[in-house]
């Protein structure tokens, strides 16, 4: 019987996920030294996004090696997500964004609007700057007082950038971009993006590139006031909480040699909740008596299922460990 202590979920060990290199017109041909991935030089292989937890990403170790991540959620939702999850689908899409050119100016719908158009969920996201050049900028939100007519005129005349709230971005910054926020990623930084698992983007303005725009839906989705902006870190003794909002929590974890997973309770129920461990720098080993050790290479990610056995994280040198956990909206009583 689901939920009964008499039927505990079988354990599911942490596993590695292979990155999926997604081509984008605004991306780079060569991602080294971040990822050992260089294009073939045929002109159609600029990589802009490295998907770390996409449904199409392949599992790289453990019992489900070779399967797609989305299939693992479908096969063992409770072991992956725990018993509190509102849906059996993968909740978060984590990516690394490599912008050689400006991305489009865009907006994402919230859950309500996405569902109106037949999508499972909207997209609230956040960006953590893994690196940033001097003077790097992003745009999050509209300047105060901008009107819908000004937005429309900006789209038509190619002057929309003037209406955007521009933020300088430095390495280590966290920027929150809730659904409805008009936003743009510009070159100069490498961003770890955590978002609701949705691919719904409404492009408002694309610098004349021949990609489709979605002006009317973007105007329906946009909100003039949002909570977007820089998020101050919450520095604790054993971790730094970079962001903790309704859909996700992102933290930098202090490991200092080695650390037991039991010292890292997640935001969900005490019994366990899905999380991901990402090596922003350096490498780590995850080991336990219950599974073969796995090694987290620089910029690799491991899924820690809700039903993971306890394990130890060991710093193999220079480790900067980021943990990403989904959060569930509070259930109505
Ligand atoms: Zn976006």
Chain segment 290-324, per-residue pLDDT in tens = 899 999 999 999 999 999 999 999 999 999 999 99
State yes or no: pLDDT of 333 exceeds 70: no
Domains 19-56+92-230 and 234-326 are alike in CATH topology: yes
Q: Separation of 179 CA from ligand 1 center, angstroms?
A: 9
Asked whether the CA dihedral 45, 49, 52, 54 is positive or negative, the reply is negative
Q: Which of 121, 203, 259, 323 is catalytic?
A: 203
Q: Separation of 217 CA from ligand 1 center, angstroms?
A: 15
Distance (Å, whole) CA 265 – CA 240: 14
10 Å CB burial of residue 318 (0-12, 13-18, 19+) is exposed
Distance (Å, whole) CA 233 – CA 99: 25
Choose which CATH entry (3.40.50.300, 3.40.50.1100, 3.40.50.2300, 2.60.120.10) describes domain 234-326: 2.60.120.10
Distance (Å, whole) CA 263 – CA 257: 14
Dump the DSSP string for 164-233: EEEEE--TT-EEEE-TT--EEE-TTEEEEEEEES----EEEE-TT-SS---HHHHHHH--SS---EE---
Q: Separation of 254 CA from ligand 1 center, angstroms?
A: 29
Chain segment 229-267, per-residue pLDDT in tens = 999 999 999 999 999 999 999 999 999 999 999 998 776
Active site residue 24: no
Q: Separation of 50 CA from ligand 1 center, angstroms?
A: 14
Domain coordinates of the chain in residue numbers? 19-56+92-230, 234-326
Q: Separation of 84 CA from ligand 1 center, angstroms?
A: 27
Choose which CATH entry (3.40.50.970, 2.60.120.10, 2.60.40.10, 3.40.50.2000) describes domain 19-56+92-230: 2.60.120.10
- What is the chain's Cα-based Rg? 20
State yes or no: pLDDT of 8 exceeds 70: no
Cis peptide before 48, with omega less than 30 degrees from 0?
Answer: no
What's the rounded mean pLDDT across residues 10-39? 92
State yes or no: pLDDT of 6 exceeds 60: no
């Amino acid at each position: 019987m689901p939920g009964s202590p008499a039927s505990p979920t079988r354990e599911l060990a942490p596993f590695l996920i292979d990155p999926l290199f997604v081509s984008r017109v605004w991306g780079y041909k060569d991602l080294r030294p971040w990822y050992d991935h260089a294009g073939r030089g045929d002109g159609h292989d600029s990589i802009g996004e490295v998907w770390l937890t996409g449904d199409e990403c392949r599992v790289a170790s453990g019992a489900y090696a070779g399967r797609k991540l989305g299939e693992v959620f479908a096969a063992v939702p409770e072991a992956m997500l725990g018993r509190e999850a509102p849906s059996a689908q993968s909740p978060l899409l984590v990516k690394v964004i490599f912008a050689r050119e400006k991305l489009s100016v865009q907006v994402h719908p919230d859950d309500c609007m996405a569902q109106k158009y037949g999508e499972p969920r909207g997209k609230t996201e956040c960006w953590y700057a893994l690196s940033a050049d001097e003077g790097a900028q992003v745009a999050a939100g509209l300047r105060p007082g901008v009107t819908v007519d000004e937005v429309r005129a900006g789209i038509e005349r190619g002057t929309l950038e003037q209406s955007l709230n521009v933020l300088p971005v430095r390495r280590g910054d966290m920027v929150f971009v809730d659904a409805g926020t008009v936003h743009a990623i510009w070159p100069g930084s490498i961003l770890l993006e955590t978002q609701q698992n949705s691919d719904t983007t409404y492009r408002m303005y694309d610098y004349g590139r021949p990609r489709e725009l979605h002006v009317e839906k973007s105007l329906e989705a946009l909100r003039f006031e949002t909570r977007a902006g820089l998020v101050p870190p919450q520095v604790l003794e054993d971790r730094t909480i970079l962001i903790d909002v309704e859909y996700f929590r992102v933290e930098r974890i202090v490991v200092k040699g080695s650390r037991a997973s039991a010292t890292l309770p997640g935001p969900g129920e005490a019994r366990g909740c899905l999380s991901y461990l990402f090596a922003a720098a350096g490498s780590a080993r995850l080991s336990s008596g219950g599974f073969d050790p796995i090694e987290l290479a620089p910029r690799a990610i491991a899924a820690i299922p809700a039903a993971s056995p306890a394990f130890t994280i060991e710093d193999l040198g220079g480790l900067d460990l980021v943990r990403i956990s989904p959060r569930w909206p509070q259930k109505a009583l």
